[in-house]
Amino acid sequence: MATIFNKIISGEIPSYKIAESNDYLAFLDINPLAEGHVLVIPKIEVDNLFDLDDATYTGLQMFAKIVAHGIKRSVPCIKVGVAVIGLEVPHAHIHLIPVNQVSDMNF
C-alpha cells in the first residue's frame, strides 16, 4: 500500500515543496517543530533510511545538505538540525529542523 509520502510525491496529497529532483523531494512538515521544518525523502519507497541502496542513500544526504543550506539562508536560526525518526510514516525520510536553542529539539 502506498504511504502518505508516496501520495505527496504523486501530488495526490498536496504539500509545500521546497526542492525536487528526479530521485528526491523536500517539503515542509505539516506539523513543524520549528518554522522551516523540512522533510527530505527519496522517491523510491523504502521504509527505513538505512535500508536504502548506497547510491540512493548518499544522494539523499547530498540533496539534504543542499536543502539545509537553503533553509539556513532563509530561516533565522543558529543551525539546521538533523533527525531520523520514522515512527509515524514508513517511508525513509530525514527531518531538517532550524534550531535556536536546545528546547527546540524537544521531540
Question: Which residues would be at the binding site for ligand 5GP (CB under 6 A)?
Answer: 4, 13, 15, 27-31, 39, 85-89
What's the closest the beta carbon of residue 54 comes to ligand 5GP, in angstroms?
22
**Residues labelled as active-site residues:** 93
Residue 86, class by beta-carbon neighbours within 10 Å (0-12 exposed, 13-18 middle, 19+ buried)?
A: middle
Question: Coil, strand, or helix at residue 91?
Answer: coil
Which CB, 77 or 89, lies closer to ligand 5GP?
A: 89
What's the closest the beta carbon of residue 3 comes to ligand 5GP, in angstroms?
9
**Measured between alpha carbons, how far is 93 from 48 in angstroms, rounded to an integer?**
8
